[in-house]
Amino acid sequence: MFSFLDMVNHSLSYFNINTKLKNRVYTIIALLGDFYLIYVTTRLLINHVWLRGLLYCLAVIAVSYFVYLNAIYYFLGYTSRLDFLSPYLGKIVGVEAEPDKNQQRRNKVINTASNGIYHNEETIPAEIACDPLEQRNLNHVVNELLDQGLLVADFNGMSNDDVLDQYAETGKPVDALNAGQQPPYFELVHDRGRRAMEVCIGVNQMDRRAVGHITKVGLTDIHTAHDLYQLYLANVTITGGPNKIPGRQGSTIMMDGDYHLVVQVAYRHRRR
């Protein structure tokens, strides 16, 4: 039984599956395992193997309890009044220890990435879209930057209680990626073949990847804006990615998510 669960766990790890969906799959598998335990317990009691039968019976009760809690939470989105063990179990197996302050200072990233200095009146927000390939590129580059310590994802140093407070205030998931971070390198590239203005980011120019294309500059579509203005990429900020939402009894749940970009474009009238 445990070998089967281990095989399923390894199989699911190959896919980027939403955490809630993955937990639903585990709940269904646990339910099937519970039925198997009930069958074994019944056979033991029928054959008068009282001690082992009693132990299996206790195991059935415990597994059934947790299957019930998970089914209520992951399928219906509620917590049960009978859920009185989660806070204690969370302290044993699920609570993150407070990070060492000195280690935090050593790991703190001072991001000095910049494509120059622009005055506010020279920049304007731009809308950016990602096709599936660009989204994969964006997720890959951001994960690479995180692995190299060039970006930080520690919920801005917030504790679980802080995360819960922010969620209660905004009603939105709290991103793991610290706010206001830029990639070390970013560039706006005119792809004439696609007739698109590609946003490229990376560790450096050599390793850059196209991670999205601009669709609007302010309220103007990109093709009109490109005809009227010379466009420059002034600022790129990374948002989104894995995040936390409230869980049971004051705990939090980590959810998967794609990364996104917030882009500012500088512009200047073309000289005719």
Task: Say yes or no: 63 and 156 in one domain.
Answer: no
What residues contact residue 27 under an 8 Å CB cut-off, 6+ apart? 67, 70, 71, 74, 75
Percent of residues, the chain, with pLDDT higher than 70: 78
* Residue 93 forms part of a structural domain: no
**Residue written as tokens 């920049």?**
123
**Residue written as tokens 């009693």?**
54
pLDDT digit string, tens, across residues 13-59: 544 455 667 778 788 888 888 898 899 899 988 988 889 889 999 99
Task: Say yes or no: 125 and 255 in one domain.
Answer: yes
Looking at 67, 83, 99, the residue that finishes a domain is 83
Task: Say yes or no: 46 and 148 in one domain.
Answer: no
Of 269, 204, 270, 212, nearest to 238 (Cα)?
Answer: 212
Q: What is the mean pLDDT of the chain?
A: 81
Task: Say yes or no: 66 and 114 in one domain.
Answer: no
Task: Say yes or no: 113 and 154 in one domain.
Answer: yes
Residues comprising the chain, all counted: 272
Token couple for 22: 């993955």
Range of the domain at 119: 109-269
For residues 153 and 241, the answer to whether their CB atoms sit within 8 Å is yes
Task: Say yes or no: 71 and 130 in one domain.
Answer: no
For residue 121, the SS3 value is: helix
Q: Give the mean model confidence (pLDDT) for residues 127-152.
A: 94
What residues contact residue 238 under an 8 Å CB cut-off, 6+ apart? 142, 151, 177, 181, 182, 183, 259, 260, 261, 262
Domain count, the chain: 2
- As beta bridge partners, residue 269 has 229
Confidence of residue 197 (pLDDT cuts 50, 70, 90): very high
**pTM for the full model?**
0.59
* Residue 94 forms part of a structural domain: no
